[in-house]
Amino acid sequence: MARDPSTFVISLTPFDRDERLDEEGFRVHLRRLAAAGIGVYVGGAGSGEGYTLEEDEVRRVLDIAVEELKGVVPVRAMGVEPRTHREMLRFAKIVEESGIDAMQVYSLDVGHLGRPSPEEIERYLNDVLSVSSVPAILSTHYSVGYFIPVDVLVRTVEAHRHVIGVNCSTLDVNYLVAVAEALPERVDLHAGVMSQAFVALSVGASGFLSTEGNVVPEWCVAVIDNFREGDLVAMSREFGRLVRLSARLFATGGGIATTKSALEILGYAGGAPRRPRLAVENADERARIAAVLEDFGLVPQGSRD
């Protein structure tokens, strides 16, 4: 296949107990990801708690990511879903000033359960990409309640050569397959739903994104390494344990709070969540998370040093 296999983690953003950006904890976390060889997105809406970040914090997150990761592993800015093209362009300006490798262009979220028409989607993308020259990755994501039509994706990447990838976050396998078949091979394609990694790779996508990579980045990289080497038995084994860990760890729907709790239990730098999210403080739930980690051979061994 023409696309080079790869995987990216949607990095968390550490905060201290007073909800301040924990810059040193962030650096330690990024160094651990770099050591595993995984690509990194920072400042994302979900795992990165991007909606809680002030503009100056976004700048610091990007600057730190560049200092720690650029030239070591691929590092990209993710950002949050914008209401207008002007919001996306403000983010693009910050990205350009940071010198980070590339940025994701999120799908337009017009709010109030609204869905833009295909023509409005295409105009939004052109409005952003005709002004910003930063290498871009388009996001088509279920979070906004619609997907970018495949023909709009194709016309957009053909019209704007600095679009280098598409992140496709969907539970609809048929849509994922259609995108993989329609995009030119120069454009990377990553499944935004980790459990679809096997399907994505089998139909010619580049790989997958994950939040699980914050906890087990080496496992995510192992899936890709074994696929690249053609060892599908080993790939299946690595992918299977990654999916099983995810299913058990997030069985109660804890999201990033569960991820941060798991890292704290393991002794790694993850920090606390920021409001409106709440830390996992229930003793029974923390014991459950610890038991899951132990069942998978993950025991306290890291440190902030």
DSSP single-letter state for residue 107 = P
> How many CB atoms are located within 10 Å of the residue 55 CB?
10
Half-sphere exposure of 47 (CA within 13 A, CB side): 21
C-alpha dihedral sign at 56, 60, 63, 69: negative
Comparing 112 with 103, which gets the higher pLDDT? Answer: 103
Percent of the chain predicted with pLDDT > 70: 98
Structure tokens at 117: 């028409």
Check pLDDT > 50 for residue 235. Answer: yes
- pLDDT at position 269: 94
Amino acid at residue number 163: V
Cα dihedral 35, 38, 41, 42, rounded to 10, equals -20
Q: How far is CA 233 from CA 38, 163, 210, 237, 248, in A?
A: 21, 34, 21, 6, 23
Segment 164-180 mean pLDDT = 97
Check pLDDT > 60 for residue 10. Answer: yes
Segment 283-303 mean pLDDT = 90
- The strand ranges marked E within 24-151 are 39-42, 75-77, 102-105, 136-141
Bridge partners of 209, per DSSP, are 8
Residues 118 and 176: their CA atoms lie apart, in Å, by 18
Bridge partners of 136, per DSSP, are 103, 163
- pLDDT at position 113: 86
Segment 44-56 mean pLDDT = 97
CATH superfamily of the domain spanning 6-229? Aldolase class I (3.20.20.70)
Residues 197 and 243: their CA atoms lie apart, in Å, by 10
Check pLDDT > 80 for residue 78. Answer: yes
When pLDDT is cut at 50, 70 and 90, the band that residue 1 belongs to is: low
Residues 115 and 118: their CA atoms lie apart, in Å, by 9
Predicted model pTM: 0.96
